[in-house]
């Protein structure tokens, strides 16, 4: 009943809207049919990026003025059919049946006509005003397939136009022809009985005989077959696979990192320092400046530093996807992934996780099964991301000397091991009995087009920023304020950043005893406070440790060497309130940092950024912008075993706030909270067990750790019931809508 109403309502609206001159065109097609290429070529602006209502599938719209008409394109999710089996197909089906549109452009891969025609037939049957575009007609020709366009058009009863979507000229002339044809509005009869189709099997019978009459084929080995013979070759496949993954990783991390300082310096200068000074100048009270500049401004700065690595990761992923290699990689990886109950497809987001966990979690969208997706989301934070590396580097330089490389490698391995363990645990508890799905198409190879790739990664970046900023800005603002507020003698004061008096420090001191079993003594509370600031971004740990130790010194009067004194002087330089000129200098400094970092890639021969780890203390200190004094403090506060236990904790605990934001978006609050609990508890258990077995020898703590491990298992078991109930409810909704 309600469905019927909705339908009527939609029709009314579309009648109203067609009065004004905007023409709404839905672009539909199979995945890899080139519909996104077409969209990117013809639509000038991708001005609306968001989600389809109620689901996490991206909704992309764009508009263009063409021949005096306003065209609005709606890019439907790529689907193979309109049967409502997946979220994407439900969206597409619903839109075709009830959505507001004037035309459907069905983009068909000409080199794979039969399978693509299934969706076209279904759209002609269920929708209105379908126009078919035979995309990649050039590739079809190269593969030796000649298509009789007129005959196909007569059979389907709709207009059919050849197209090379990535070619601007071709795309616009096809668009023009299509618009002209729809103005004529002549009603055509289909040559085949489309309404008589009862099932997909039926449809394929019709399609097969249709293709036999309209496609002339000469047997020729396609480019794709040739490339696959090398890429999937028994001996070459694995080396090529590893090499390409390494290339992605290297490029995203190293080239991306070149720009991190730029964003950090420039955004910090504008949104924190300049904005703060400006606020004070115009007479706003200290507390307002703290909230706006040191809180929200710092939040924007934090998000901004993620831009380069995230963007380059998206860029590399887009290249792999666009070229067609991504699905080959998934095919090869399935062999191993299957063991932990995951499909090969989830391998890619996990690899991305070594760069940054945020795009990794967003990348799980490629997974068709929800349980596979959630499993991958839980595993991703354990793939040690680039932001954690500076922390390892600092500690290793202080403690492990020439074994640093080995130590860092072992931490990465622990992370991978924790991820595998998590996969197995989820397979046994939360997603028990749910086998993984692996069923993917391997698309034709084609040379990645720069325009497509940049546009696509740009859209994804925008999407990431939109949702990361909201959560991160709020959380960072709160932490920033806590870092600044100080409560002493019943008086509230501001400007206590990273000092003993700040609320954050007070809390850190409070939390220090909890970390005692992991080898953090109570005098070593700066290490505990740093775990808090690590929530912003893990690399913040380095800065906090550095400045807090420095302050301890100045209070103890133990500042013994010049380096240390310099550090403190630098750190305590107050913001010059008088100076509210726009920070041109800092922006210049930002650009200089790009050049310096760029040169750094080639001079250091530092292939994974890991070289930082093996260098001497001076070099590490310089790269991390700490003084060498920090090593003296680290050595005084930690033993080697305690340091390693701390690094284990940093590896495993609470993923940073950007990750929390992404997880909430993809998995919902319940699972996000579960993930926070799980990662942090596991971190405690692992680092406590390590420290107590290696050095502490306290059986009580070991016992508590083991009990907590059991608690984790129990919590997952219980959560399984909650999730189960949610899924059952969802299933009901799906069945009702069917």
Does residue number 439 form part of the binding site for another protein (CB under 8 A)?
yes
Does residue number 323 form part of the binding site for another protein (CB under 8 A)?
no
Does residue number 421 form part of the binding site for another protein (CB under 8 A)?
no
The nearest distance, CB 362 to another protein, in angstroms, is: 23
What is the β-pairing status of strands 491-493 and 486-488?
A: antiparallel
Does residue number 474 form part of the binding site for another protein (CB under 8 A)?
no
Does residue number 575 form part of the binding site for another protein (CB under 8 A)?
no
The nearest distance, CB 650 to another protein, in angstroms, is: 37
Contact pick of 7, 15, 48, 85 for another protein (by CB under 8 A): 85
Q: Under DSSP, is residue 577 helix (H, G, I), strand (E, B) or coil? A: coil
- Report the distance separating Cα 314 and Cα 613, nearest Å: 26
DSSP 621-660: HHHTT--THHHHHHHHH--HHHHHHHHHHHHHS---HHHH
Does residue number 717 form part of the binding site for another protein (CB under 8 A)?
no
Does residue number 344 form part of the binding site for another protein (CB under 8 A)?
yes
By beta-carbon proximity to another protein, the closer residue of 41 and 244 is 244
Contact pick of 60, 92, 103, 113 for another protein (by CB under 8 A): 113
Does residue number 94 form part of the binding site for another protein (CB under 8 A)?
no
Does residue number 452 form part of the binding site for another protein (CB under 8 A)?
no
Q: How many residues belong to the chain?
A: 738
- Please provide residue 367's backbone torsions phi and psi, each rounded to the nearest 5 degrees: -80, 130
By beta-carbon proximity to another protein, the closer residue of 35 and 72 is 35
Does residue number 141 form part of the binding site for another protein (CB under 8 A)?
no
Determine how many CB atoms are found less than 10 A away from the CB of residue 669: 9
Determine how many CB atoms are found less than 10 A away from the CB of residue 428: 15
Q: What is the CA radius of gyration of the chain?
A: 29
Q: Which stretch binds another protein (CB under 8 A): 326-334, 355-363, 459-467, 614-622?
A: 326-334
Does residue number 369 form part of the binding site for another protein (CB under 8 A)?
no
By beta-carbon proximity to another protein, the closer residue of 118 and 350 is 118
Does residue number 666 form part of the binding site for another protein (CB under 8 A)?
no
Site for another protein in 249-308 (CB under 8 A): none
**Nearest CA among 174, 230, 185 for reference residue 34:** 174
Site for another protein in 179-218 (CB under 8 A): 200-201, 204-205, 208
Does residue number 221 form part of the binding site for another protein (CB under 8 A)?
no
Contact pick of 103, 118, 194, 650 for another protein (by CB under 8 A): 118
Does residue number 616 form part of the binding site for another protein (CB under 8 A)?
no
How many of the chain's residues bind another protein (CB under 8 A)? 34
Rounded to an integer, what is the distance from CA 156 to the centroid of its chain?
41
Does residue number 330 form part of the binding site for another protein (CB under 8 A)?
yes
By beta-carbon proximity to another protein, the closer residue of 326 and 685 is 326
Q: Under DSSP, is residue 380 helix (H, G, I), strand (E, B) or coil? A: helix
Question: Which residue has tokens 């008589």?
Answer: 196
Does residue number 342 form part of the binding site for another protein (CB under 8 A)?
no
Consecutive H or E run containing 282: none
Contact pick of 59, 338, 428, 516 for another protein (by CB under 8 A): 338
The nearest distance, CB 210 to another protein, in angstroms, is: 13
Does residue number 632 form part of the binding site for another protein (CB under 8 A)?
no
Does residue number 135 form part of the binding site for another protein (CB under 8 A)?
no
By beta-carbon proximity to another protein, the closer residue of 114 and 607 is 114
Determine how many CB atoms are found less than 10 A away from the CB of residue 683: 20
The nearest distance, CB 331 to another protein, in angstroms, is: 4
Q: Which stretch binds another protein (CB under 8 A): 311-319, 332-340, 645-653, 716-724?
A: 332-340
By beta-carbon proximity to another protein, the closer residue of 50 and 435 is 435
- Report the distance separating Cα 651 and Cα 356, nearest Å: 13
Does residue number 341 form part of the binding site for another protein (CB under 8 A)?
no
Q: Which stretch binds another protein (CB under 8 A): 412-420, 440-448, 459-467, 475-483?
A: 440-448
Does residue number 522 form part of the binding site for another protein (CB under 8 A)?
no
Cβ proximity of 97 and 127 under 8 Å = yes
Burial class (CB in 10 A: 0-12, 13-18, 19+), 211: middle
The DSSP secondary-structure symbol of 369 reads: S
By beta-carbon proximity to another protein, the closer residue of 257 and 369 is 369
CA atoms within 13 A on the CB side of 417: 11
Does residue number 106 form part of the binding site for another protein (CB under 8 A)?
no
The nearest distance, CB 108 to another protein, in angstroms, is: 12
- Please provide residue 47's backbone torsions phi and psi, each rounded to the nearest 5 degrees: -85, -10
- Please provide residue 559's backbone torsions phi and psi, each rounded to the nearest 5 degrees: -70, 105
Does residue number 228 form part of the binding site for another protein (CB under 8 A)?
yes
The contacts of residue 308 (CB under 8 Å, 6+ apart) are 256, 257, 258, 259, 260, 262, 263
Consecutive H or E run containing 29: strand 23-29
Contact pick of 14, 83, 284, 554 for another protein (by CB under 8 A): 83
Contact pick of 220, 335, 466, 730 for another protein (by CB under 8 A): 335
Q: Which stretch binds another protein (CB under 8 A): 46-54, 105-113, 412-420, 514-522?
A: 105-113
The contacts of residue 371 (CB under 8 Å, 6+ apart) are 430, 431, 434, 436
Does residue number 77 form part of the binding site for another protein (CB under 8 A)?
no
Contact pick of 437, 589, 695, 727 for another protein (by CB under 8 A): 437
Q: Where are the alpha helices (DSSP H) in 516-583?
A: 525-533, 540-556, 562-571
DSSP 383-430: S--GGGHHHHHHHHHHHTGGGHHHHHHHHHHHHHHHHHHHHHHHHHTT
Cβ proximity of 359 and 464 under 8 Å = yes
The contacts of residue 519 (CB under 8 Å, 6+ apart) are 638, 639, 641, 642, 645, 646, 687, 691, 695, 696
Q: Which stretch binds another protein (CB under 8 A): 324-332, 571-579, 635-643, 702-710?
A: 324-332
By beta-carbon proximity to another protein, the closer residue of 113 and 258 is 113
By beta-carbon proximity to another protein, the closer residue of 215 and 601 is 215
The nearest distance, CB 444 to another protein, in angstroms, is: 8
Cβ proximity of 660 and 478 under 8 Å = no
Q: Which stretch binds another protein (CB under 8 A): 260-268, 435-443, 508-516, 543-551?
A: 435-443
- Report the distance separating Cα 14 and Cα 69, nearest Å: 17
Does residue number 321 form part of the binding site for another protein (CB under 8 A)?
no
Does residue number 148 form part of the binding site for another protein (CB under 8 A)?
no
Applying CB under 8 A, the residues found at the interface with another protein are 80-81, 83, 85, 111-115, 118, 200-201, 204-205, 208, 224, 228, 232, 327, 330-332, 334-335, 338, 344, 435, 437-443
């Amino acid at each position: 009943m309600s469905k019927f109403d909705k339908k009527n309502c939609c029709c009314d609206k579309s009648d109203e809207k067609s009065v004004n001159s905007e023409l709404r065109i839905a672009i539909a097609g199979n995945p890899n049919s080139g519909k996104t290429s077409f969209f990117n070529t013809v639509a000038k602006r991708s001005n609306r990026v968001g989600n389809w209502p109620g689901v996490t599938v991206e909704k992309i719209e764009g508009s263009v003025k063409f021949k005096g008409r306003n065209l609005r394109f709606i890019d439907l999710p790529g689907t193979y059919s309109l049967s409502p089996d997946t979220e994407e197909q439900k969206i597409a089906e619903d839109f075709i049946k009830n959505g507001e549109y004037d035309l459907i452009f069905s983009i068909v891969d000409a080199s794979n006509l039969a399978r693509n025609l299934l969706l076209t037939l279904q759209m002609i049957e269920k929708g209105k005003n379908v126009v078919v575009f035979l995309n990649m007609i050039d590739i079809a020709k190269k593969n030796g397939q000649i298509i009789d366009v007129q005959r196909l058009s007569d059979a389907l009863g709709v207009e059919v136009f050849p197209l090379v979507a990535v070619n601007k000229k071709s795309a616009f002339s096809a668009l023009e022809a299509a618009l002209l044809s729809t103005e004529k509005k002549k009603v055509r009869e289909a040559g085949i009985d489309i309404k008589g189709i009862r099932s997909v099997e039926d449809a394929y019978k019709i399609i097969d005989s249709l293709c036999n009459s309209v496609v002339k084929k000469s047997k020729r080995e396609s480019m794709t077959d040739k490339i696959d013979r090398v890429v999937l070759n028994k001996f070459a496949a694995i080396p090529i696979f590893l090499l390409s993954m390494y290339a992605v990783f290297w490029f995203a991390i190293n080239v991306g990192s070149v720009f991190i300082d730029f964003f950090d310096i420039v955004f910090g200068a504008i949104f924190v320092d300049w904005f703060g000074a400006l606020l004070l100048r115009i007479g706003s009270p200290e507390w307002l400046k703290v909230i706006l500049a040191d809180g929200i401004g710092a939040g924007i700065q934090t998000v901004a530093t993620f831009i380069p690595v995230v963007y380059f990761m998206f860029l590399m992923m887009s290249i792999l996807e666009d070229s067609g290699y991504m699905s080959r990689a998934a095919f090869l990886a399935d062999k191993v992934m299957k063991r932990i109950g995951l499909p090969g497809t989830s391998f890619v987001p996990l690899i991305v996780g070594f760069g940054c966990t945020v795009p990794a979690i967003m990348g799980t969208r490629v997974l068709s099964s929800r349980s596979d997706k959630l499993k991958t989301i839980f595993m991703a934070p354990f793939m040690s991301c680039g932001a954690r590396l500076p922390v390892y580097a600092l500690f290793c330089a202080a403690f492990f000397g020439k074994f640093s490389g080995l130590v860092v490698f072992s931490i990465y391995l622990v992370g991978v091991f924790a991820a595998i363990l998590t996969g197995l645990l989820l397979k046994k508890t939360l997603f028990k009995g749910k086998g993984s799905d692996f069923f993917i198409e391997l698309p034709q190879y084609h040379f990645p087009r720069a325009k497509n790739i940049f546009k696509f990664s740009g859209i994804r970046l925008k999407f990431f920023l939109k949702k990361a900023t909201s959560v991160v800005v709020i959380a960072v603002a709160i932490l920033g304020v806590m870092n600044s507020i100080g409560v002493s003698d019943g008086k509230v004061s501001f400007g206590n950043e990273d000092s003993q008096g700040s609320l954050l420090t007070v809390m850190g001191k409070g939390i220090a005893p909890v970390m005692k079993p992991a080898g953090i003594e109570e005098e070593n509370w700066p290490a505990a406070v740093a775990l808090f600031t690590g929530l912003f971004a893990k690399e913040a740990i380095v800065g906090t440790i550095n400045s807090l130790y420095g302050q301890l010194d100045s209070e103890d009067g133990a500042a013994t060497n010049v380096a240390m004194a310099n550090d403190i002087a630098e750190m305590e330089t107050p913001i010059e309130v008088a100076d509210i000129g726009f920070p041109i200098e800092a922006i210049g400094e930002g650009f200089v940092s790009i050049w310096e970092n760029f040169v750094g890639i080639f001079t250091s021969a530092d292939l994974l950024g890991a070289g930082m780890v093996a260098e001497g203390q001076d070099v590490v200190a310089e790269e991390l912008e700490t003084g060498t004094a920090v090593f003296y403090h680290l050595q005084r506060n930690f033993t080697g075993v305690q340091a390693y236990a701390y690094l284990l904790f940093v590896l495993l605990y609470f993923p940073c706030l950007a990750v929390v934001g992404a997880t909430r978006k993809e998995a919902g609050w319940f699972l996000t909270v579960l993930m926070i609990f799980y990662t942090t508890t596991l971190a405690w258990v692992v680092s406590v067990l390590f420290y107590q077995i290696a050095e502490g020898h306290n059986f009580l703590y070991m016992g508590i750790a083991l009990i907590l491990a059991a608690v984790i298992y129990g919590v997952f078991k219980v959560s399984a019931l909650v999730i189960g109930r949610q899924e059952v409810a969802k299933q009901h909704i799906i069945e009702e809508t069917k």
